Structure formats: structure tokens, C-alpha cells
Amino acid sequence: MRTFPDIRFRDPQVEMAHGAGGKATRRLIEGLFLPLLANPALAALSDAALVDLNGAPVALTADAFVVKPLRFPGGSIGELAVNGTINDLAVCGARPVALMAAFILEAGLPGEALQAEVTAMAEAARRAGVSVAGGDTKVVEHGLADGMYITTFGFGLPDPRLRLGSHEVRPGDRILLSGPIGDHGITILLARGDLDLEADLRSDTRPLTALADALAEAAAPGLRWMRDPTRGGVASALNELAAETGRGVVLYEEEIPVRDEVRGACEILGLDPLHIANEGQLLAVVDPAYAEAALAALRRSAGGEDAALIGEIREDPPRAVLALTRYGGSRVVDMLVGDPLPRIC
């Protein structure tokens, strides 16, 4: 029995926030998973792990989906499970080769509901040109799994043209965003019907492969880092980048695309759109010499028409995200704290 001196996770119990993709999730991963399961692939803490296979890297990723409700405007858990895993590979610069899917089903789930989700997975996989090579099914008693949970694993091949990672990011690099933020999170929130709010919104769930390919094609030598800002939103993804690089991430707040419906719902609920989950947006950091070409490439691609240059990397403030506001002010944008929108994916 080895001892593990680096375990710093002391939270007495698991809370919803540990699954929200913000500070508590980070504390759990860095304080418990990393020290116990330590290895170089895991330590990179990227959306996908790069593992050596006979001298060549392959990309692996795993995601559990527990979204509630199972179906929502614009998508469903099955489609999300396929797209989400494909996207984790895409933002690591990897072409998806195969997926695996494991279902945890609740006894009593109508057969038609299961068929609908397997169909959604099949369609999403076909759209992305990837196969579901296998999987597993477990059933738990009625009352234990809200219909179903789906875990997907993705396996892909890194694009040899790309060198991505927060260690590649330098001051002066520009930050691009593929389109409006918060659609997925607010759609889910409204679909639950707990709030007396309505809006004509749909989840943005989609595969990001084409957008990532377009960026690689237009700007491979200058492409430094990509991420799909899901749980915890753009704010959490960029705070992680700031922490990993030690640099400052400066956002031009008025350049960040947000639909009126999302902005309105966030104002009513006291939420920041930068903290809301997306399932079809891509953040990229590029060398300034490639920023214009990269932005044009995104805007030419389906799903990237509203892409914007939303900020840059600076020396200051170190390890923080600062938003420059409309009227010349600025505010610090923190990681998500707590879990205002549980079970979003």
C-alpha cells in the first residue's frame, strides 16, 4: 500500500458544485484524482488525454451525461453524448476515430424513450463520420437514474500539424469565440419549467469538428489552444487558461456574442452569461499574425458565422480574467462558484 501525501481534498461530502465544472470541480480533480491517479497524461488536465501508442500519440476522452430533462429544444441526451465527446477530441486537435457508449438505464424507462436516444446517437455519429464501436448497458431500480445516464468515450488521432496547449500561449495572442454563448445552459434551465420564463432558444449542441478543421486549415502554425466551454462556461475555461499560463486573459466584453434571450434570462436570474454552459461553441487562442485568417475561416464555416475576436492574452493581470466593459471600466471574471445550473449536460 503506497501512501499518497498530496491529497488535499478535504470536503466532507460531495456536493452538486463538484460536478459543475467550476472551482469545486477543480478542487476535486487537483486535490484527489490527480494525486491518486498521477501520470503524465492525466496531469495535462486537458479535455482529452494524449496517450503514447507505439511511439505515436492517440487522444482519449470520457464524458458522463446526466442532463435533465432528457430531451430539450435543439437536442437530447443521446445527441449531446456523441457531440460532447467528439468536441473534446476536436478541441484537442484530434480527428475522432471511434466512440464507445455505456448506458445506465432506470427500470421503467419506456422502450420508445431508449430507442429515441439510441437513434439520436446514431444520427449524431453518422453526421460526424464516426462509429459507435461498442458499449455496455446496466439497469438500476426505478427512481435511481432519471431515465438514463450515458457515458461516452472517444478515441481519436491528433492532427500532426498542430501543437496545442496552454504552454504554447503567449502574451499578445488573440482569443476567438465561434458564436453566441449560453444558449445550451439557458435552454436546459427553461426546459425544466421551474421558472416562469419563456424564450425562443435552442441548445447549440453540434459537432465542432468542422470548425476545428477550418481553424487548423487556415492557421495551424499559429493555433495555440482550443477548448469547448461547456460546464462553467467561457469564464471557467479562460480562468483555467489564466491559471495554467500564469498570464492575464483580457476580454472585450462588448465583443462577446450573446443572444438577447440569454442576456435577458441571465439578468432576471442574476447569472453571468460567461458562466453558462455551451455545447457547440469553440474558444481558440491564436498568434496575432494568424488572428484575421482564423476569424475569417470560422465565419466561413457552418455554425461559425457569428464568430468574434473577444480578447487577448496579456502579461497582466497574472492568473486572472479581466473583462473590459462597454464604458471603459473593467471587472474581474471569476470561475464559476457553486452550481446555479445543475445537470446541464
Least spacing, CB of residue 267 vs a second copy, in Å: 27
Residue among 70, 86, 90, 109 that touches a second copy (CB under 8 A): 109
Pairing of strands 131-140, 49-53: unpaired
Residue 268 sits in the site that holds a second copy (CB under 8 A): no
How far apart CA 295 and CA 300 sit, in angstroms, is 9
Residue 54 sits in the site that holds a second copy (CB under 8 A): yes
List binders of a second copy among 180-209 (CB under 8 A). none
Question: Is the Cβ of residue 51 or residue 243 nearer to a second copy in the bound state?
Answer: 51
Biggest CA–CA distance in the chain, Å, is 59
Quick note: the x/- pattern for a second copy over 223-252, rule CB under 8 A, is: ------------------------------
How far apart CA 282 and CA 260 sit, in angstroms, is 20
Question: Is the Cβ of residue 4 or residue 300 nearer to a second copy in the bound state?
Answer: 4
Specify the residue for cell string 431515465.
147
Question: First vs last Cα of the chain: how many Å apart?
Answer: 37
Question: Is the Cβ of residue 138 or residue 167 nearer to a second copy in the bound state?
Answer: 138
How far apart CA 343 and CA 345 sit, in angstroms, is 6
> Cα separations (Å) of 229 from 3, 139, 215, 232?
35, 31, 17, 7
Residue 49 sits in the site that holds a second copy (CB under 8 A): yes
Residue 307 sits in the site that holds a second copy (CB under 8 A): no
DSSP 203-269: ------HHHHHHHHHHHGGGEEEEE---TTHHHHHHHHHHHHH-SEEEEEGGGS---HHHHHHHHHH
List binders of a second copy among 87-106 (CB under 8 A). 97-98, 100-106
Question: Is the Cβ of residue 109 or residue 323 nearer to a second copy in the bound state?
Answer: 109
Question: Is the Cβ of residue 110 or residue 329 nearer to a second copy in the bound state?
Answer: 110
Residue 5 sits in the site that holds a second copy (CB under 8 A): no
Nearest to 333 by CA among 196, 237, 265, 264: 237
Residue 80 sits in the site that holds a second copy (CB under 8 A): no
How far apart CA 238 and CA 15 sit, in angstroms, is 23
| Three-state secondary-structure class, residue 69 | coil
Quick note: the x/- pattern for a second copy over 140-179, rule CB under 8 A, is: xx-xxxx--x-x-x-x-x----------------------
Residue among 95, 139, 264, 334 that touches a second copy (CB under 8 A): 139
Residue among 23, 60, 175, 182 that touches a second copy (CB under 8 A): 60
| Segment near a second copy (CB under 8 A); pick from 37-45, 248-256, 267-275, 315-323 | 37-45
Residue 13 backbone phi and psi in degrees, to 5: -150, 160
| Segment near a second copy (CB under 8 A); pick from 30-38, 167-175, 189-197, 314-322 | 30-38
Residue among 6, 8, 129, 136 that touches a second copy (CB under 8 A): 136
Nearest to 295 by CA among 278, 276, 312: 312
